[in-house]
Structure formats: structure tokens, C-alpha cells
Amino acid sequence: MSRVYEGILKDDRIEWSGESPPPGRPVQIHAIVMNENPDPERGARMAASLSKLAECGTAKKFGDAVQWQRQVRRDRPLSGREDTPNQ
């Protein structure tokens, strides 16, 4: 079973941020280095794109989101579970 632990790699050591693997035995890991230099303009570009979508009414073309959600969540008969009278 895979578990996810967060930490910071300093030289050849990992400093765990919270929960850590059990001590005393070797543990195989796959290390993924998170983006060290995030693009500070990315958020602004994303906000501008979302504003343009909102201005042209793209989301309204899909209809009423609340109505769609209610329709998707309504009860449906389950296959093989037909109602049987109480005994």
C-alpha cells in the first residue's frame, strides 16, 4: 500500500513535515521535486482568462448548474433491487 508523506530534502536527508514512515527499516520511495520557482504571473493570467470567460457568458450556455445537479442526484431504481413488499 502506498502512503504519501511530505518533507523537505536537505542535502541527503529528508526532514518530515508531519507524519513520517515507521523508523527502523528501509522504505522504498519515489521523490518528486515540487516547483521551486513558481511563475508569479501565472495567477494573474489565469484570473484574466476566467474574467474573459465570464464576460462572454460561456458558462451560461451549459444551462442552470443547480438544476443539472438536482437531476443527476435524483433517486433511480437500482438494477436487481426491485421493490418487494414487506413481509
56 in any annotated domain = yes
2 in any annotated domain = no
To the question of pTM greater than 0.85 for the whole model, the response is no
One-letter identity of residue 21: P
How high is the mean pLDDT in each 10-residue block of the chain (87 residues)? 88 91 89 80 92 86 86 77 60
Q: Which structural domain, as residue segments, surrounds residue 47? A: 42-73
Residue keyed to cell 504519501: 4
Cα torsion through 58, 60, 66, 68, rounded to 10: -80
10 in any annotated domain = no
54 in any annotated domain = yes
Give kind and range of the element (H or E) at residue 47. helix 42-55
For the chain, the domain total comes to 1
Count CB-CB contacts under 10 A for residue 5: 13
pLDDT of residue 47: 94
